[in-house]
Structure 1
């Protein structure tokens, strides 16, 4: 960790006594960030930067016009940029600067840019215990030829209505749009490459589970309403929706049926988060979960997002700054144990 000159002198004295407290006010934890302008605005809010300064954390913008190796020095690199070139730059930097924590490895993040691969890990976990069961909706990937979709859906025995989502998640608003197809004829109007998921009635509510290292925070968001059999017979066509879950659609303060509003059991979420952190190799992501309407313990993961809109998460500035400090603290403890 980088310290100013006065603090370095203090470190030498403190090391004589055998330890260095990580809470010294002189310390500066330098976090270099490479984020889109939209992400900077939503994430680096004044309340976060103010609290970070008080805790000795300094956020420094990474200049995309200069080589990354010539910038810093950084303790942590925080990023959410897409593109092969950026991935190569970051991997090269990780190799040459193993002392720097990169949040998160580009190859691990890539796993979440494809909706087929992102849910495979959830399906492989097949999580079922006394608190409930978590799976994924039955789904099908279509890469081309929209005219063949009705037959493919029939062969896969998917039940209408069907949710269609873009296969690739590239950070654009379009990649988070979804469509709901009510009849088989309308399926051929969808635009591949897409993932088709069976629509599961869930009381019009989803649970957005934010993961920040070991921390878990759950919020309620309004979602698509349930579809009954009469509505299915009455409606036809494809209905397109923008991003369904957003801060404006918060349901935390709404007057909801307790059976719908009840949060998933904490132990179940902790087990899922732990397994996904291990399998994905990521520390910053969120999981969109729904509960099948009419059940108490049947849950489905419908999406996973890397570095989501943490600015919409209540108390995010405290959770995130504590997480950043914990990363350096664990590194420092490892150094001590190796000496």
Structure 2
């Protein structure tokens, strides 16, 4: 008789303790249940601002991660990164050229470690001109709807010449003005709504000007974590009618519009406004942007033109957004990290 499942025993019963009792003639063998293999621990080194640590590394995420064998370890930015770890994944959102050089050098020297995300890719979406150009260049099938970007103008010159530049570009009022550079500060997420072109001279370049699109006052935040996608509704700027254009003048400043407190999920909304974009459309958009941007952690702000059921505009892309504001984010993040740990293990076996 052989053990470890190589040959069958004569017969088997379970004793009252749950151990398997095998009997053959007068020989009785007691085997304890085989414990399942323990999952390999995944070590995630993180370099985040204190604000991002507080919003992202919430107790509910840390508890679930610990139960799944994921450990978060703080990176000491004052010490050489190569002396720390070893890490399976490096998660970072710090700014500055020096940090960019450090993380890129580490990424090159440790090809099996998964770095979220490459500094050059992050830099690409810190500029609203380059981030939306990737969307404009997409050629998605339109069977589920059309995805595009609003007509826009990038302006970096003397603000006094801005009204003339708007006229030359043929942009229609009202216009949404946003800072060109997204640097993680609250100011970089401010926006202004201009009802007349002459008041634009009061703004401070560099700016991106976008034609305002009526969208029922609701935008869709599409959170992307690798191949995982989740969509939430947020209240946005209200629609603007033509009568208002004749009544109002000037530039109106708005703080960050689509914060968690402005959630429109569960609100009593017109179904034509509240209906989420089709899942196949979002899947295609997320896949194409992941490939073009070279990013795993980002979100896309989308609006649907009011009265046009299948015409969507991407108005912003944010790197490593506030996932902690998203319901159930901890499950999405931990599942993603587990998939990265599995990918790293496979890479090591092949190398």
Q: TM-score, normalised by structure 1?
A: 0.91
Q: Does 1:139 align with 2:169?
A: no
Counterpart mapping for 1:119-138 below 5 A? 119-138=132-151
Q: Is the 8 A contact 1:68 1:93 kept in 2?
A: yes
Q: Could you tell me how far apart the structure 2 residues matched to 1:272 and 1:64 are? A: 35
Q: Is the 8 A contact 2:112 2:347 kept in 1?
A: no
CA distance change for structure 1 residues 258 and 41 in 2, over 3 Å: closer, same or farther? Answer: same
Q: Is the 8 A contact 1:43 1:311 kept in 2?
A: yes
Unaligned runs of 5+ in 1: 1-22
Give the aligned partner of residue 171 of structure 1: 184
For the aligned residue pairs, the C-alpha RMSD in angstroms reads 1.2
Alpha-carbon deviation of 1:55?
Answer: 0.3
CA distance change for structure 1 residues 288 and 200 in 2, over 3 Å: closer, same or farther? Answer: same
Q: Could you tell me how far apart the structure 2 residues matched to 1:56 and 1:79 are? A: 20
Match of 1:218 among 231, 242, 246: 231
Give the aligned partner of residue 42 of structure 1: 55
Give the aligned partner of residue 14 of structure 1: none
Give the aligned partner of residue 15 of structure 1: none
Q: Is the 8 A contact 2:88 2:344 kept in 1?
A: no
Q: Could you tell me how far apart the structure 2 residues matched to 1:300 and 1:183 are? A: 23
Counterpart mapping for 1:3-82 below 5 A? 24-25=37-38, 27-82=40-95
Q: Is the 8 A contact 1:128 1:134 kept in 2?
A: no
Match of 2:121 among 90, 97, 108: 108
Residues 202-253 of structure 1 deviation map (CA, whole Å, 9 limit, x = unaligned): 0000000000000110000000000000011100000000000010000001
Q: Which moved more, 1:218-227 or 1:187-196?
A: 187-196
Q: Could you tell me how far apart the structure 1 residues matched to 2:312 and 2:137 are? A: 15
Give the aligned partner of residue 236 of structure 1: 249
Match of 2:296 among 277, 283, 289: 283
Q: Could you tell me how far apart the structure 2 residues matched to 1:73 and 1:330 are? A: 16
Q: Could you tell me how far apart the structure 2 residues matched to 1:28 and 1:326 are? A: 12
Match of 1:186 among 186, 199, 205: 199
Q: Could you tell me how far apart the structure 1 residues matched to 2:94 and 2:279 are? A: 32
Q: Could you tell me how far apart the structure 2 residues matched to 1:63 and 1:335 are? A: 26
Q: TM-score, normalised by structure 2?
A: 0.88
Q: Is the 8 A contact 1:164 1:194 kept in 2?
A: yes
Q: Could you tell me how far apart the structure 2 residues matched to 1:97 and 1:331 are? A: 11
Residues 260-314 of structure 1 deviation map (CA, whole Å, 9 limit, x = unaligned): 0000000011001000000000010000000000110000000000000000111
Query: Which segments of structure 1 move beyond 4 Å, counting only runs of 4 or more?
Result: none
Higher share in helix: 1
Q: Could you tell me how far apart the structure 1 residues matched to 2:135 and 2:108 are? A: 30
Give the aligned partner of residue 314 of structure 2: 301
Alpha-carbon deviation of 1:27?
Answer: 2.8
Q: Does 1:94 align with 2:107?
A: yes
Q: Could you tell me how far apart the structure 1 residues matched to 2:287 and 2:345 are? A: 23
Q: Is the 8 A contact 2:301 2:317 kept in 1?
A: yes
Alpha-carbon deviation of 1:24?
Answer: 4.5
Give the aligned partner of residue 318 of structure 1: 331
- What is the aligned length? 316
Give the aligned partner of residue 213 of structure 2: 200
